[in-house]
Amino acid sequence: MSVSSSSPNPALANMQDIQLPADIGWWPLAPGIWAVAIISLLLILFASIWLIKVLRQRRQQRAAAKEALVLLDQLDSDDPQLPVILSALLKRTAISYGQRQDVAGLTDDNWYHYLDQVLPEAERGQFANLLQHRYRRPGATIDGRQLLQLTRSWLQHAPQHFGKKAQTRNDIKEAAC
């Protein structure tokens, strides 16, 4: 018997090719991918809300500083009430930076020290000398130009100072959690 016949085997004639399964599709997503997607969306949402809040606060602070600078330009350095006006202007501006509980009750040396914290080292210690004359006797002179310049410097340095202070406070709150 010879095995090498040229005719096909009749048993193999009825066989078909192997059927491969369909390719695995990307839909429906696996539960892990759903969890990652939901967490990512929530993080993006919270980050967006936080960013909007920070940008609004900074815009309000810049607006308060700009308004204070405009009011400062309208003041006369020879006005006898200049120290009172500037002290009130500085207090309103400091409160607008969200520091109401820290600022509202400050008076005298505590107030001067608070104002000095914002200024560069070279300008510190001058507010006490200039604002002490708020309740002086009539006829006493003050250096109104120096007081205006010092107030302008404070208003220009305040946004950076309070921005850093708010960031430090947020870091402390996060660390406490």
Say what percent of the chain tops pLDDT 70: 79
pLDDT digits (tens, 9 = 90+) for 77-121: 787 788 888 888 888 888 887 667 777 788 777 888 888 888 888
State how far the Cα of 96 lies from the Cα of 75, in Å rounded to an integer: 21
6-31: pLDDT as tens digits: 667 777 777 888 888 888 888 888 89
Higher pLDDT, 128 or 18: 18
Per DSSP, helices labelled H in the chain are: 31-73, 82-96, 100-103, 108-118, 126-131, 144-176
- As given in the structure block, the two tokens for residue 175 are 């660390």
pLDDT the model gives residue 31: 92
Average pLDDT, integer, range 32-57 = 95
| Per-residue tokens: 25 | 């599709």
